[in-house]
Structure 1
């Protein structure tokens, strides 16, 4: 049976080991140790060293690291510390900020993927500029080590000069389509920065789910239950999916259910996806 996809990705600043430890015990599906935006310049070296020390050992949940952009002064040192040639036991993935071309992904892959391909962390590209969005599919197919793409919405909002949240919907859909076309998992939503606005987070997750996203990054543990609940199917959705799958068992071609719903192969596939997520309830 295929493992269910992660729904919650919790960021923790790399220069605060106690916060990282709390994140690892928070119930998040994935913990992302941040060496980029959450860490001040004079704390970069400490964050890098603390992160590398932690990842020498296995961790209770998958741990990803968001490194600094390679074109800047810290990115290369981040890779050397947290993704050395031999790999670190506790590292599951690398999140690459401000990716704007396939070459950005390939450059990291050449540094982190062994010649024989085994034991390398998965790569995840963050698209945070107009150019990155325009090249979404090219980025998504840049290298076999790439496991996912997603949007860094705050930087993209600034780059585009967008003031209304709906102004990002085209970019969001572009990335969802690119990920699917490349055979990658659905993108996760970007963080909701107001940790007190749980109603706004809930509504935003509903919008993201409608657009085709699956799961979301968080910046505080209190956001995790809201995200998980928003992305898990409701009991009604589960029951409808069970009805579809049961009706389709052993049947060929399209058919109509007693309640008037039309069932074909695409509808059955969607129903099975719902039941797969239902295992997480």
Structure 2
């Protein structure tokens, strides 16, 4: 099952990486971008490289790089190697992904890594990224999409309400692009209120209904809520198993005892529920 929770750790705070890796997070993102002051970028790169060398006890360690050309090259030079699960590229657009692929290809060759060894999660948070979401999905190395709504809202000049209703159409575009290209369901945005777990549960449930199956987190206390939100409950699993049991092995459709028609689309949803169980 793809990761449900990705926990951000500021790259210049290496003491937090082991704590994050020991949490319930499915994966950790060492952030070299927004969480790091400009003056601490070099320190963060060195700390991230050391954390990758030290390992994490099995928790995948990703790195969010800076999208600017000079910073991107410096970030990748510091972190590409053993221990790196992959790279998150902010403000992902086709041209930026092509540049990233070129840099990664050169580093892999230089460091004796297999070609294509470093996968990429493309973080869509610009208008161009949204408009070209399908092309972003098809870019080399991209294994998943995420959405960053703070930067996107600013560029679009929208003022989202607490439920970010104004961005729901954009979320659907990202979900559609992933489904059309065969990528896993995308990663939803952070919940910036790190103390309100009720709100986190509510917004995670909304993301699940909208087609997301993971989200990023800013604090370890958010992780269990996110994991629970994207994991099917025992009741949901039992209902899906009962539904699938009503369809004979040699049939693709059936009618349940209540008269509801069970077609392949309904069965596919039931199987997806079991995958999340």
- What band does the TM-score fall into relative to the shorter chain? over 0.9
Equivalenced residue count is 268
For normalisation by structure 1, the TM-score amounts to 0.91
Question: Which residue number corresponds to residue 191 of structure 2?
Answer: 192
Report matched runs for 1:116-155 at 5 Å.
117-118=114-115, 120-143=117-140, 145-155=141-151
Does residue 1:66 correspond to 2:50, yes or no?
A: no
Report matched runs for 1:270-281 at 5 Å.
270-278=269-277
How many Å apart are 1:249 and its aligned residue?
A: 4.1
Contact 2:8/2:29, CA 8 A, preserved across alignment: yes
Question: Which residue number corresponds to residue 50 of structure 1?
Answer: 47
Question: Which residue number corresponds to residue 155 of structure 2?
Answer: 159
Contact 2:17/2:51, CA 8 A, preserved across alignment: no
The SS at the match of 1:217 is strand
Stretches of structure 2 lacking an aligned partner (at least 5 in a row): none
How many Å apart are 1:275 and its aligned residue?
A: 0.9
How many Å apart are 1:57 and its aligned residue?
A: 4.3
Does residue 1:99 correspond to 2:99, yes or no?
A: no
The SS at the match of 1:206 is helix
Contact 2:133/2:174, CA 8 A, preserved across alignment: yes
Partners of 2:2 and 2:76 lie apart in 1 by: 26
Contact 1:93/1:122, CA 8 A, preserved across alignment: yes
Contact 1:58/1:89, CA 8 A, preserved across alignment: no
Cα RMSD for the two superposed structures: 1.6
How many Å apart are 1:97 and its aligned residue?
A: 0.7
How many Å apart are 1:259 and its aligned residue?
A: 2.6
Report matched runs for 1:218-237 at 5 Å.
218-237=217-236
For normalisation by structure 2, the TM-score amounts to 0.92
Partners of 2:35 and 2:189 lie apart in 1 by: 15
Partners of 1:75 and 1:277 lie apart in 2 by: 35
The SS at the match of 1:55 is helix
The SS at the match of 1:75 is helix
Contact 1:29/1:61, CA 8 A, preserved across alignment: yes
Stretches of structure 1 lacking an aligned partner (at least 5 in a row): none
How many Å apart are 1:224 and its aligned residue?
A: 0.8
The SS at the match of 1:275 is helix
